[in-house]
Amino acid sequence: MFAPTASQPDSVKVPLGYARGESSGERLRFLKNRFAPVLGVASVAIFNQGAYYFIAKDSDETLFFPFGHERYGQSRFDWLEQGNGISFGRLVEGAQA
C-alpha cells in the first residue's frame, strides 16, 4: 500500500502496465482495491488516458480545467511522483470539485 507524503491525495496517475490481471475487469478491480484506500473512499473512478490510468474519487473529476474556464487546458492537479511511475495529485487552488 502507498502512504501519502503529506496528506491524502485527491487523485492518482498510474502507468497502464501497473494494473495486474488477465482481463480488463480483473485489472480494474486490482486498481480499485489498491487505490480506493489511498484516496480515502470506498470506490474510485478509473479513466484510461492512453499511457496511464487517471484514478479519481468520483466520476465527475477531470484532469484539466474545462473549455470556457479562464484556466482552460491547464492541469487541475499538482503531481508528486511516488516511484514506479505512480503520481499523487493534489487539486490546485481554484480547482475544488
Flag whether 1 is in a domain. Answer: no
Q: Where are the alpha helices (DSSP H) in 1-85?
A: 24-39
pLDDT along the chain (97 residues), means of 10: 64 95 94 96 96 95 92 95 95 83
Nine cell digits for residue 55: 484514478
Quote the CA–CA distance of 48 and 18 in Å, as a whole number: 13
Quote the CA–CA distance of 51 and 19 in Å, as a whole number: 12
Number of separate domains in the chain: 1
pLDDT score at 4 = 42
Flag whether 71 is in a domain. Answer: yes
Quote the CA–CA distance of 26 and 7 in Å, as a whole number: 29
Quote the CA–CA distance of 54 and 16 in Å, as a whole number: 10
Flag whether 16 is in a domain. Answer: yes
pTM over 0.75: yes
Flag whether 30 is in a domain. Answer: yes
Strands 52-56, 77-83: pairing is unpaired
Among positive and negative, which fits the CA dihedral 28, 34, 39, 42? positive
Domain of 59 in residue numbering reads as: 11-91
Flag whether 96 is in a domain. Answer: no
Flag whether 97 is in a domain. Answer: no
Flag whether 60 is in a domain. Answer: yes
Flag whether 24 is in a domain. Answer: yes
